[in-house]
A and B are shown apart, each in its own frame.
Chain A
Amino acid sequence: MKFIQNLFVDKFLCCGLILLILSNLLGGVLIKISPIYYNKHSAIALLSLTLVCVYGVRTLLWLLLGKKYQLSFIYPLLGVNYILSLFVGILFFHEPFIFQRLAGAVIILVGVSIITLSKYRDDTSMGKMK
């Protein structure tokens, strides 16, 4: 509960996360609709441009949030996307609601959260090969 309270107090985190979640989903939606326009070069160019913008915004948000918060704290919050993507699929692409898919998405979210419990977070070797 404390986290939810903090989320409303900390507007920076709240806005950043919402934008990050939206940009992730928007990127996916753009990829999903792109096959319709394979024959229209101008539409594909426009789509690619939007995709580049989305990726750019995402990189910026990661940098901004990453400066203030631990990656292992933010990353599992993005697991919510796996559940949201189900509803985006239902709303925009008329996919059927399948309970087993929702269960799978929740399991993925649990898995992502467990990874963040790992104690190896700091890179002491700085990624250098021996």
Chain B
Amino acid sequence: MSMEIGFLLLLLVSMLAAVGHICFKKAAVANISFARKFVHPFFLAGVFFFICCPVISSLAAQVIDFSIMYAMTALNFVFVLLLSRIILEESIDWPKITGVCIIVIGLLVMITA
């Protein structure tokens, strides 16, 4: 497997993790009792996405250094910000945008080393 495919897989992992977080959030705010949240379709979907993540990361780990693999999880912040804006209609302000931009710059600095 080439490095490029490894990075694409890690990109996919970050997206899946972000979708998983959105699902958990949806289950958390659903208007049902606490116990029923654990059988809520969104909660189960979230669990499914979170199970996919380590499996796909494991494939990518064959070609990517540990420190880079770990740093790629910072991409979660980017996707969570985008999805929470689009799907949950959350408010976005300058600290959030600046922070995410700086994280992307930090990642680029790391992976181009």
Contact = CB atoms under 8 A, between A and B. Distances in A.
Interface stretch (A2-10, A11-19, A91-99): A91-99
Contact of A107 (B50, B58, B92, B105): B105
A100 B59 CA distance: 26
Interface of B: 25-26, 28-29, 50, 54, 57-59, 61-62, 65-71, 74, 77, 87-93, 95-96, 98-113
What is the predominant secondary structure among interface residues of chain A facing chain B? Answer: helix
Nearest to B81: A115
What is the predominant secondary structure among interface residues of chain B facing chain A? Answer: helix
Contacts of B106: 104-111
5 contacts: A29-B66, A85-B71, A100-B112, A104-B110, A118-B95
B100 to A, nearest CB: 7
Contacts of A108: 71, 74, 102-103, 106-107, 110
Contacts of B108: 104
A82 B71 contact: yes
Nearest to B106: A107
